[in-house]
Each structure stands twice: as C-alpha cells, then as structure tokens.
Amino acid sequence: MTSARSDSQLQYSPKAQEIIQRTNELLASGGYNSFSYADLAELVGVRKASIHHHFPTKADLVKATVALHRDAVRRGLQSLDDLTDDPLERLVAYCRFWAECIEGSNPPICICALLAAELPAIPAEVAAEVKGHFKDLHSWITATMEEGKSKGRMQLADVPSAEAALLMASIHGAMLAARAAGNALLFWEIAKQSTSRLRTT
C-alpha cells in the first residue's frame, strides 16, 4: 500500500517534512502528550524556534502530520482498488500491510488509533482530522464489502456499514492488543480471523 510523494507533502520544505516524519514516529510511540518541541528539536537537530517557524503550535504540527497520514492512506486504498478486482483480497491486503508495518515497527501502530483514544484531550482541529481518517476508512471498507457481497465473494452477517465498523474495530483493537502483549504477530492472527469469517464457503 505504497505510493509516490503527494502534492500535500510537496507543500512543505524538506526540513518541515523531516519534522513531520519525526512527529509521526513520536506519535506512534506514545501519542499526543508523549513529546514536546524540545524532544522533537533534539531528534531533528534544530532549535525549537525552527520548529515554531514551520509549525507555530503543537496542534498545527500534529494536524499537519495526521492530514498527511490521511492522504497517504487514501492513496494507499486507491492503489489496492487498482491492484485487484477481488474485494476480499483488498481487505486482506490492507490487513497484511499493517501486519508488516507492525512487525517491522515501521510504523508500529496507526497514529490515528492512538489519537482516537485521546480525543477528549487533544485539540479540536487534530480531533477533526482523526475523525476524518476513520470516516474515510469506513467508507472504503463499506464500499469494498458491498462489492464483495454483490460479487458473491463475501458473506455478511449484517449490512455492509455495520460489518465495516466491526472490521475496523477488530483491526484497530488488534493493533492495541499486539502492543499490549508485546507480540507483533498477534495483530495478523486477529486480522486474519476477521477477514476469513467474511469468505464465502
């Protein structure tokens, strides 16, 4: 689920892109409140004033980071649509992508999964991007399941939108379960079961 650099990325200077990348890593490690601009400045090798020049506030920085994450996910999902006509295999490929990311700690978890748990405590503009990510993903999974059902490739116990919500909960819950257990392979075990139950016999 990879794609070329987007126009959204190109609006930022190379240094700003490096700051965003490091922010992504820090968010994946511990969430919104786990780091400061001082931590980030040390990682990037710049003064805090330089980070404030690119992103005046932490909310600005994390909002930009999540927005680029959303953009990357949207392009990744489109690439899955282009890759195969089999809707079930698209869902499996999506789960496999995250299994490989988690196993390689690159990234170890979806940053939106962590930020969603912090929604009551994070700035509204960041929360809006996080909610937007889940809305994007739910729409894609719902459409994929609708196609899978119409093609006879999936058996659904409920309407596609409800099944999509269940799969999303399983996937993101599996990310947290794998982290809690210290076992990256646990994610794939859960995700594989979650997609296998959709397969027509």
102 near 178, Cβ under 8 Å? yes
Q: Is residue 1 part of a domain?
A: no
Q: Is residue 20 part of a domain?
A: yes
Residue 104, judged by CB atoms within 10 A of its CB (0-12, 13-18, 19+), counts as exposed
Q: Is the pLDDT assigned to residue 9 strictly greater than 80? A: no
pLDDT tens per residue, range 172-199: 999 999 999 999 999 999 999 999 999 9
Which pLDDT does position 1 carry in this prediction? 60
- Cβ atoms within 10 Å of 74's Cβ, excluding its own: 17
CB within 8 Å of 123: residues ≥ 6 apart: 59, 62, 63
Mean pLDDT of all residues in 47-61: 96
- pLDDT band, residue 11 (cuts 50/70/90): confident
Supply the range of the domain harboring residue 61. 7-196
Which pLDDT does position 7 carry in this prediction? 55
Mean pLDDT of all residues in 89-117: 95
Total number of domains constituting the chain: 1
Q: Is the pLDDT assigned to residue 5 strictly greater than 60? A: no
Residue % of the chain over a pLDDT of 70: 95
Which residue shows structure tokens 């980070």?
A: 51
Lowest mean pLDDT among 1-10, 69-78, 125-134: 1-10
Angle between the N-to-C axes of helices 37-44 and 14-30, in degrees from 0 to 180, rounded to the nearest 10? 120
Which pLDDT does position 6 carry in this prediction? 57
Q: Is residue 61 part of a domain?
A: yes
Q: Is residue 2 part of a domain?
A: no
- Cβ atoms within 10 Å of 36's Cβ, excluding its own: 12
Report if pTM > 0.75.
yes
What is the CATH number for 61? 1.10.357.10
Q: Is residue 172 part of a domain?
A: yes
Q: Among residues 65, 59, 66, 61, which one has the least CA distance to residue 50?
A: 61
Q: Is residue 201 part of a domain?
A: no
Q: Is residue 64 part of a domain?
A: yes
Q: Is the pLDDT assigned to residue 10 strictly greater than 90? A: no
Task: Note the helical H segments in the chain.
Answer: 7-10, 14-30, 37-44, 48-54, 58-83, 87-104, 111-117, 124-150, 160-181, 185-196
Q: Is residue 125 part of a domain?
A: yes
